[in-house]
């Protein structure tokens, strides 16, 4: 059997298509999602419906955002779930998730995401964090490690700082390649992201935090005195309670926010 063909559909590599077929893993993910009509439910990349079908068994309406025209069309005629779906044939990276929100509800977003765009998609989704109750995503395990990493760890970087600014990050489950068809070359993991009602370390200007994290981690091996010299003098770093000879992976989220707020003040 051609391992790239699943349920009569030939997996498209450019869309990061690896279809889940392990019932145990699917059950675990659906349990973690806790589908409910109390929320606006949203799935990114429903594909052939591995998660879509069991989620629809528990709720009456599900929004799905699927880029692949053929798969969106298949879902539109799916015998069991077509009447419960609002299908958006669109690119999730450009999609305005706020348009889906129903009055008085928050969103639950989930998906087994295409790994080729997962990091970029995370940054896009953080913009909607205030509207979201929780998010559950299957990602490359390495990306889950980066989301959850703390200072001092090799995996700690821009993605960790931005994710942890908005959300509590909870790794849920590790999943091997054999759970998918075709099997990806990498290990996978499911992560739960719980947006804070208000961030523990509020930034005056989120753009400043994004810029500082990008500039600091863009030159990981340099001290912050060097990588941030275009923004702060060594004296100013010291004044802010930071060691200018520290490297970006040594700074906590609170320290990144301190820098971001100092930058925002400089711009005023």
Can you tell me the distance from the alpha carbon of 37 to that of 35, in angstroms, rounded to the nearest whole number? Answer: 7
Q: How far apart are CA 5 and CA 37, in angstroms?
A: 34
Q: How distant is the alpha carbon of residue 251 from its chain centre?
A: 22
Query: Judged by CB, which is closer to ligand SAM: 188, or 223?
Result: 188
Please tell me whether 91 is known to bind a ligand.
yes
CB of 229 to ligand SAM, least distance (A): 37
| Consecutive H or E run containing 164 | helix 158-166
Tell me the sheet residues that pair with 111.
137
Contact 65, 43 (CB under 8 A): yes
Question: Is residue 116 part of an annotated ligand binding site?
Answer: no
Nearest approach in angstroms of CB 185 to ligand SAM is 13
Strand, helix or coil at 146? helix
**Shortest gap between Cβ of 66 and ligand SAM (angstroms)?**
5
Is 66 or 215 the residue whose CB approaches ligand SAM more closely?
Answer: 66
Ramachandran region of residue 47, left (φ > 0), alpha (ψ -120 to 50) or beta? left
Q: Is 75 annotated as a binding residue?
A: no
Torsions phi, psi for 72 (to 5 deg) = -60, -40
CB closer to ligand SAM out of 90 and 155: 90
Q: Is 112 annotated as a binding residue?
A: yes
Beta carbons within 8 Å of 209's beta carbon, 6+ residues apart:
161, 162, 165, 203, 256, 257, 260
CB 78 to ligand SAM: min, Å: 13
Interface ranges with ligand SAM (CB under 6 A): 15-20, 44-48, 50-51, 65-68, 71, 91-93, 112, 114, 117
Distance (Å, whole) CA 251 – CA 19: 38
Give which of 105, 122, 102 is closest to 114, Cα–Cα.
122
In angstroms, what is the minimal distance from the CB of 65 to ligand SAM? 5
Closer of 117 and 194 to ligand SAM (Cβ): 117
Q: How far is CA 116 from the centre of its chain?
A: 13
Judged by beta carbon, residue 37 or residue 70, the one nearer ligand SAM is 70
Q: Which is nearer to ligand SAM, 3 or 198 (CB)?
A: 3
Determine the residue with CB nearest ligand SAM: 45
The least distance separating ligand SAM from the CB of residue 247, rounded to whole angstroms, comes to 34
Task: Tell me: is residue 226 an annotated ligand-binding position.
Answer: no
Q: Which residues are annotated as a binding site for S-adenosyl-L-methionine?
A: 18, 20, 45, 66, 91, 112
Q: Which residues are annotated as a binding site?
A: 18, 20, 45, 66, 91, 112
């Amino acid at each position: 059997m051609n391992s790239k063909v699943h349920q009569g559909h030939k997996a498209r590599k450019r869309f990061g298509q690896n279809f889940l077929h392990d019932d145990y893993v699917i059950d675990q993910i659906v349990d973690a999602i806790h589908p409910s009509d109390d929320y606006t439910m949203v799935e990114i990349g429903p594909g052939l419906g591995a998660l879509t079908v069991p989620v629809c068994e528990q709720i009456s309406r599900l929004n799905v955002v699927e880029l692949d025209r053929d798969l969106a069309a298949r879902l539109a005629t799916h015998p069991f779930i077509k009447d419960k779906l609002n299908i958006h044939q669109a690119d999730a990276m450009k999609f305005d998730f706020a348009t889906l929100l129903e009055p008085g509800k928050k969103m639950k977003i989930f998906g087994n995401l295409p790994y080729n765009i997962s990091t970029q998609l995370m940054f896009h989704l953080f913009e909607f964090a205030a509207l979201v109750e929780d998010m559950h995503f299957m990602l490359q395990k390495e990306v889950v490690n980066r989301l959850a990493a703390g200072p001092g760890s090799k995996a700690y970087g821009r993605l960790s700082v931005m994710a942890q600014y908005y959300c509590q990050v909870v790794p849920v489950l590790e999943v091997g390649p054999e759970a998918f068809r075709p099997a990806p070359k990498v290990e996978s993991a499911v992560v739960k992201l719980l947006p804070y009602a208000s961030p523990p370390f509020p930034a005056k200007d989120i753009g400043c935090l994004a810029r500082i994290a990008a500039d600091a981690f863009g030159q990981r091996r340099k001290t912050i005195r060097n990588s941030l010299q275009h923004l702060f003098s060594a004296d100013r770093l010291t004044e802010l309670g930071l060691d200018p000879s520290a490297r970006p992976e040594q700074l906590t989220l609170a320290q990144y926010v301190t820098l971001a707020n100092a930058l925002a003040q400089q711009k005023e």
